[in-house]
Chain A
Amino acid sequence: MARVEDTLHDREIRQAGAIGEAGTLRDEEITVSDFTTELAERIPGVEFELEPEQEMLTVNMGPHHPATHGVLRLVVDLEGEVVKDLKPVIGYVHTGIEKSCETMQYWKVIPFVERMDYLSYFFNMQAYVGAVEKLIGLEVPRRAQWLRVLHMELNRIHSHLVWLGTSALDLGAMGVYFYCFRDRDRVLDTFEMSTGQRMHTRYFQIGGVAEDIPAGFEQKVRKTIEQLKTGIGQYEALLDKNEIFLIRTKDVGVVSRERLVELGVTGPLLRAAGDPWDLRKEGGYLAYPELEFDVPVGTVGDGYDRYRVRLTEMRESIKIIEQILDGLPEGPWIADDRKYALPPRAELSTSMESLIHHFKLVTEGFRVEPGEVYNPIESPRGELGCFVMADGSSKPARVHFREPSFVNLQALADMTIGEYVADLIQTLAMLDPILGGIDR
């Protein structure tokens, strides 16, 4: 479908008169007249005249800009190099996942929702599966809860590694990107070992997880986290002493904690501004109340704090993973309720009931009493909530995801207006938006 947005949008901005009055500068006002006087001082004898039309420039960043981490288009109004107004235009990878979910049985929805935010698939699964479990009142076995937390924390490291690599790449630190992707691959190897897939694993089932972890998985994860520990130290050393990185991130993109809460921003962005808000601590879902970990917070809320918070979060995740490997409880890994969870494969050849249950579950699925549940969890980007509405049939009547990237993106204008356009790249990178999650 052809788009008419480009012309419409530009015209709209001009008509609305938004140019030049939306933002205020934080440090010093850089106006065109200042610029001309400075030029006149530097190059004496030459007259500089700038047309009024040249003062404001509307630029499209994206949708195919490499620094927008996907297909995000930012309509930026520039006065010189200073951002005066910013409007995100999204929807380029909208695939109607929420609508498609309504046509699928409850257990068939899981692979759909995984593909929304493609870097945090375990979290998407947990948000959805947890909501359905609340709807049907199903208790998850303790071992399954611990296994879920293990995979989610590995996933958090994986997501933060991709963020660190691409953000450092945006700021010109090329090497970090390769190191991060090397370590990310190691995390994906562990996923491959336990679930059979590197990404989009469909490992969480309603009532537990699909399969127990294989023999040798513990050693594999232990080896991986040892490598990660060294790796994270290396990235820290690479970036923390990098003068360019420090200058470009410190005191850039600061928004006050109160304003962030107003804008609904959660996750590392809010924690970097000094608010220790973490649903793993507050909500206490799955095995998190039994595990010990700290919530890192920043002080200023600039790009550097966001980087530090995420780096420390990776270390905390490693701490959680170690505790899980040490104390993983024995027992079943999926609920024993045959109305909702598939029977073990071996039983199908001996038990008629199992065969019937298997057949019913696979062909029709299970029915859910009418009701609605909102299940929030802490994803790498903030509060990921899944709203599921049941109407009594075997398909959900509505699946909605409160995507943290989608909500956090609203804060981008507050972060960038009044700053240089070069800092916009940095701020966007530290915001960590995933367009698959924003557009769904």
Chain B
Amino acid sequence: MPDAPGLELILAEINREHPGAVLDTSYDREQAALIIDPSKVIEVLTWLKQTPGQEYTFLSSVHGADHFPLTPRFAVHYELLNRERYERLRVKAVIPDPGAAPTEVSVVAPGSSDAGAVDSDSGERGSSMEMPETEGRSTVLDGETLPVVPSVVELFPTADFQEREVHDFFGIVFEGHPDLRRILMPEDYVGWPQRRDFPVGGEPVIFTRDEVTNPGWWQ
């Protein structure tokens, strides 16, 4: 696993080729992470996969995270793995919520994009909640404004189902995904269940005696 200085080197090298792609690094609890601009996902992952000396060729997992009520709200995490050295690296694309009301309070620390702030010796734990702001793109789907992230299916075919799962649960649109449909929830489901402001429960259970009080449930 690259340590904190190693991450800074990776940050500098990627930003030399793709300016502004990597926003920050974090090394916390022996877990290395790059925090990146969501529009540069493909560039960063291609660089990490193909650059000699990096070669993170295996994508273990793709998952979403919701930092509600903090901003930027969403994150898509790519757990990369170098199988020769057994090194894991998490790439976090942080995405603001395009559907949020403009009055939302931002708690992002003003100096959090300062690269020198991450210091493994100081014992300061980089909080996942303090992430730099990015300008995310958005799209409108069925009257709802949803964040857009480029799909990495062409680069890592394993991301197919996992991106569908993130889309299903968080309402993040993966641009360029060959078959972006809901995967675990029913196709006619409304809402994004893993968002933190989505309530638990509330799904009406249909019995024969409820049929009258649940009009139109069969549609």
Q: Which residues of A pack against B, CB within 8 Å?
A: 1-5, 8, 90-91, 94, 96, 98-100, 102-103, 134-135, 137, 261-265, 277, 282-283, 369-374, 376, 383, 385, 387, 389, 391, 397-398, 400, 402, 406-407, 409-410, 439-440
Contacts and interface: CB of A to CB of B under 8 A. Distances in A.
Given A371-B128, A372-B31, A4 B86 contact: no
B162 interface: yes
Contacts of B194: 98-99, 398
B77 A387 contact: yes
Contacts of B183: 90-91
A134 B30 contact: yes
Interface string B157-188: 11011100100010000000000001111111
A99 B86 contact: no
Given A99-B194, A262-B157, A369-B125, A91 B185 contact: yes
A134 B185 CA distance: 31
Interface in B91-127: 125, 127
A135 B29 contact: yes
Interface stretch (B14-22, B37-45, B57-65): B57-65
A361 B182 CA distance: 38
29 contacts: A3-B186, A3-B187, A5-B187, A90-B183, A91-B185, A91-B186, A134-B29, A137-B29, A263-B157, A264-B58, A264-B157, A264-B158, A265-B158, A277-B83, A282-B83, A370-B127, A370-B128, A371-B127, A372-B77, A373-B31, A374-B79, A374-B88, A374-B90, A387-B79, A391-B129, A398-B194, A400-B63, A400-B64, A402-B63
B157 A439 contact: no
Given A261-B58, A369-B125, A383-B60, A99 B186 contact: no
Interface of B: 28-31, 57-61, 63-67, 77, 79, 83, 86, 88, 90, 125, 127-129, 156-158, 160-162, 165, 169, 182-189, 193-194, 196, 198, 200, 206, 217-219
B104 to A, nearest CB: 17
A2 B30 contact: no
A410 B63 CA distance: 17
Given A374-B31, A385-B79, A262 B156 contact: yes
Contacts of A440: 184
Nearest to B155: A262
Contacts of A8: 187
Contacts of A373: 29, 31
A290 B64 CA distance: 36
Given A3-B188, A400-B61, A440-B184, 9 more contacts: A5-B187, A8-B187, A90-B184, A91-B183, A373-B29, A385-B79, A387-B63, A397-B196, A439-B184
Contacts of B83: 261, 277, 282
The binding surface of chain A is classed by DSSP as: mixed
B207 to A, nearest CB: 13
B29 A371 contact: yes
A121 B165 CA distance: 23
A374 B83 CA distance: 16
Contacts of A402: 60-61, 63, 79
B184 A409 contact: no
Nearest to B70: A391
Nearest to B92: A372
The 5 closest A-B pairs by CB, nearest first: A264-B158, A402-B61, A91-B184, A400-B63, A94-B184
Nearest to A87: B179
A103 B201 CA distance: 11
Contacts of B189: 1
B186 A5 contact: yes
A407 B162 contact: yes
A11 B161 CA distance: 21
Contacts of A96: 193, 200
A374 to B, nearest CB: 5
B157 A410 contact: yes
* Residue of B57, B61, B79 with most partner-chain A CB within 10 A: B61
Contacts of B129: 370, 391
A398 B67 CA distance: 9
* Residue of A2, A263, A264 with most partner-chain B CB within 10 A: A264
Given A1-B186, A3-B188, A283-B86, A262 B125 contact: no
A440 B185 CA distance: 11
A401 to B, nearest CB: 9
A398 B187 contact: no
A98 B65 CA distance: 12
Contacts of A369: 125
A372 B65 contact: yes
B127 to A, nearest CB: 5
Contact of B188 (A4, A99, A134): A4
B193 to A, nearest CB: 6
B91 to A, nearest CB: 12
B65 A389 contact: yes
Contacts of B86: 282-283
A379 to B, nearest CB: 13
Nearest to A5: B187
Given A90-B184, A402-B60, A407-B162, A100 B200 contact: yes
A391 B162 CA distance: 24
* Residue of A3, A98, A134, A283 with most partner-chain B CB within 10 A: A98
A278 B161 CA distance: 23
B59 A264 contact: yes
